[in-house]
Structure 1
């Protein structure tokens, strides 16, 4: 199927791609917009842990693109991109369909990086998509069920030992989530929660080292030890092989082995294969094959092509691969596409890094706000929830998710029939703090010029 030439095609429905599409729709962009993604649903990755452990629902974390784009005028195509021809301005899909474009937005993000570790791709669980979360939950529940039924002590230890590889933000958040929820799940089956072990395998000397969350490393390490099951952190331990029931790692120049039925891989990312295959010279890429773009988010050799998010590096401006960067880049790309269509000057992206937010278990988090002050515990949890709720892609989705969250906090978590008065006061205080957090986050967004 050949489409009209005067249209913008967005490849990838992550934060950059979706927010570009939504901003174009809200900004009355004069050209047609097509968004292509292989999945039916958008994945709000910072909240994928809450989806995994049941704290938040499907519509809150992985809503359908059709719902988010309803009434926007953006055409959503669920398909996989087979190839991108920058010279011919053509996108070919695995279905056999193809699209030509006048402008293209590359927003493919990144993929799980296994760094050539033997068996990692085949035997470790990634945690990147809704499907990953579902697969991991099913596997873990099966392990717990088998553990509670076996009399074999060694077999039970393997089933109840979980190893998380990677001490960056993803690994820390995953380990903290597991250390609070696995005991809850296992106790419900009649098991002894003290038998569960959660091990965080970190290549470096310190967790979060070199990460945007680096300032929170001491807080994070302290909070990880406070979980329902204290997390065991193995530093300077480099994974060398992942097998079906073991993981090997090198530490102090020796190879050691941990017997486990569950290895979770959070040890970095790689550039998307489609980005690697683009006819872009090495001089216009970084050492990881990501694309160099101008401050206006355009490719150096193809100014009609914009790119943002994890697959790009802005010239002379190193930015962390986070959601807050990606969605702000999406807003800028949309603004520049509209300016281009109206023959106006393009503007460089101005990215405001507001700090970092780190989930550290049930009702626990750490926050570094504007690199000015740090917050930990339930207060940080409320700030994190409020901040992410303000970033949900559409006002309707934002309202529905917020109302669900407030309902959960009031009616399901805090109203104890035996102590109603005290719990009502706590609920009012909690929800009040959450609402104030949401309002404050909205105010900050408006001050920074991110909301239209």
Structure 2
């Protein structure tokens, strides 16, 4: 075996990878930290809907790694990993560069799965990255601009119909967002906003089936019908084919066709190809081909390698693929890496689910806080925004993003041409809700921080 230099290499700059690196940097970790990601920017995925709809700016949702890591001492390498050699402790990049490691963190997340549906990969639009959000926005604007000029009602309706495949949280948040802002876009072009049609196709009998957000299902079902245009929900609809101008699905033993110029895919995920290619026996993988790791998040046969996030199956634990899980796993990995260098005992990961937050429109959401009480509407929206903004990666970025959000969300939007009495009343109500959101967010972070110390 090659003697590695004393450096830690982190592959993947998502929640687990980035937070592992930042936690290490804040604890004066004595080894070099190298973070490798193919993208220039970190993507705060829970807020990607806000970026997509224009509610938030790129620096808030997709900040550059160079800005986030400035002054941290972390070395960021923008490159694509081609292979990982566990035996020789090497990471090989597309640029032909090779990095030796004393410790490796695998935080590659998952990738979009099209579930073998004919034409889905070629014709459906995924929603996973900043580039995906930009591509969908441009496509939708093009459809609306073409539709407003077409006299034929069938052709126009096809351009104004958006199909979203998948009734999990991503699909629900997507249709809610689309049904609120697409009518505004089309009205601004001179079109009839009520011609916008948003359709959710879901394979199971109900939305959020088996998901962490399932307790919010009844609220979500109600709120989806309160959007600028009501959302059509096709349950038990198995998509069989996606074409450029239609979606085919099987329902009640019949094949039906939905004419549409836009199909957005949120239906499935798969294990990252690099994780599939690792030289690890099948006995150490789960049924989804993820890597089975110990409670300290290490590979059983390669204890110098830590794995977290969507690509890890933790011993005796079933964890949802959420930001709060990734955050806590990143903190545990960082603690254990530091413990190795100073000869302390490693600790098992403890993940505490503090509730769920579900976006249900431009200024609407549902929240299940600490599994104790539920909120909906504007207060839940403010709590969701404040919680996620508080979780943004660095204090400087967090302060800047939060300041911009408070200015836009609370003051600019609600101090227009209203009379003074209404201004004061609405300001008190909104600022109170915003403060509650920040306090809840701080409580969440404190509880997460307490867990890190235990």
Q: Bin the TM-score by the shorter chain.
A: over 0.9
* 2:279 equivalent in structure 1: 279
CA deviation after TM superposition for structure 1 residue 26, in Å: 0.1
Tell me how far apart the structure 1 counterparts of residues 37 and 199 of structure 2 sit (CA, whole Å). Answer: 35
- Are the aligned partners of 1:386 and 1:437 in contact in 2 as well (CA < 8 Å)? yes
CA contact (8 A) 2:286 2:313 kept: yes
Cα displacement (A) at 1:295 = 0.7
- How far apart are 1:352 and its partner, in Å? 1.0
2:193 equivalent to 1:193: yes
Q: Which residue of 2 aligns with 1:264?
A: 264
After superposition, residues 405-416 of structure 1 pair within 5 angstroms as 405-416=405-416
Deviations 1:264-306 (A, max 9, x none): 0000100000000000111100001001011101011110000
| 1:79-132 residue CA offsets vs partner (Å, 9 max, x unmatched) | 000000111100000011110100000000000110110010100000000000
Q: In structure 2, what is the equivalent of residue 94 of structure 1?
A: 94
Q: Would you say 1:321 and 2:330 are equivalent positions? A: no
Deviation at 1:4, TM superposition (A): 6.4
SS in 2 for 1:91: strand
CA deviations over 1:16-40 (Å, ceiling 9, x no partner) = 0000000000011010000000000
2:118, 2:241 within 8 Å by CA — same for their partners in 1?
yes
1:144 aligns with 2:148: no
Aligned to 2:350: 350
Deviation at 1:133, TM superposition (A): 0.1
| Runs of 4+ residues over 6 Å off in structure 1 | none
Q: Could you tell me how far 1:412 is from its partner in structure 2?
A: 2.3
Contact 2:66 2:76 in 1 (8 A): yes
Summarize the Cα distance change of 1:423–1:288 in structure 2 as closer, same or farther, 3 Å threshold.
Answer: same
Deviation of 1:153 after TM superposition, in Å, equals 1.2
Q: Which residue of 2 aligns with 1:10?
A: 10
Separation in structure 2 between the aligned mates of residue 362 and residue 87 of structure 1, nearest angstrom: 50
Corresponding residue for 1:240? 240
Partner residue in 1 for 2:307 = 307
1:418/1:370 CA distance change after superposition, 3 Å = closer
Q: Whole-Å Cα distance in 2 between the matches of residues 121 and 432 of structure 1?
A: 45
Change (3 A) 1:314 1:4: closer
Deviation at 1:424, TM superposition (A): 3.6
Distance verdict in 2 for CA 1:323–1:136, change over 3 Å: same
Q: Answer whether contact 1:293 1:314 (CA < 8 A) is retained.
A: yes
SS at match of 2:336: helix
Question: What is the CA-CA distance between 1:324 and the residue it aligns to?
Answer: 0.5
Give matches, 1:39-438, under 5 Å.
Answer: 39-438=39-438
Preserved contact between residue 409 and residue 431 of structure 1 (Cα < 8 Å)? no
Equivalent position SS for 1:427: helix
- Aligned residue for 1:296, secondary structure, equals coil
Q: Say whether the 8 Å CA contact 1:11–1:106 is kept in structure 2.
A: yes
The structural deviation recorded for 1:450 is 5.6
The separation in 1 between residues aligned to 2:385 and 2:93, in whole angstroms, is 37
- Give the Cα separation in 2 of the matches to 1:332 and 1:275: 21
Check whether the contact 1:123–1:244 (CA below 8 A) recurs between aligned residues.
yes
Number of residue pairs the alignment of both structures matches: 451
Find the aligned partners of 2:437 and 2:411 in 1 and give their Cα distance. Answer: 20
State how far apart, in whole Å, the 2-side matches of 1:239 and 1:118 are.
9
Unaligned residue ranges in structure 1 (runs of 5+): none
Q: Please, what TM-score do these two structures have when normalized by structure 2? A: 0.97
1:18-37 equivalence runs, <5 A: 18-37=18-37
SS of corresponding position for 2:148: helix
Say whether the 8 Å CA contact 2:328–2:452 is kept in structure 1.
Answer: no
Which is further off, 405-414 or 114-123?
405-414
* 1:436 Cα deviation from its structure 2 partner: 2.9
Other structure's SS at 1:227 match: coil
State the Cα distance separating 1:371 from its structure 2 match. 1.7
Asked whether the 8 Å contact 1:363–1:378 carries over to 2, the reply is yes
Give the C-alpha shift of residue 440 in structure 1: 2.9
Mark the CA change 1:179 to 1:222 in structure 2 (over 3 Å): closer, same or farther.
Answer: same
How many Å apart are 1:142 and its aligned residue? 0.5
Alpha-carbon spacing, 1:247–1:145, altered in 2? closer, same or farther (3 Å): same
Question: How large is the Cα RMSD of the aligned pairs?
Answer: 1.4
Distance across 2 between alignment mates of 1:262 and 1:447? 42
How far 1:3 moved relative to its partner? 11
Shift in Å, 1:423: 2.0
Structure 2: state its 5+ residue gaps: none
Alpha-carbon distance, 1:222 to partner: 0.6
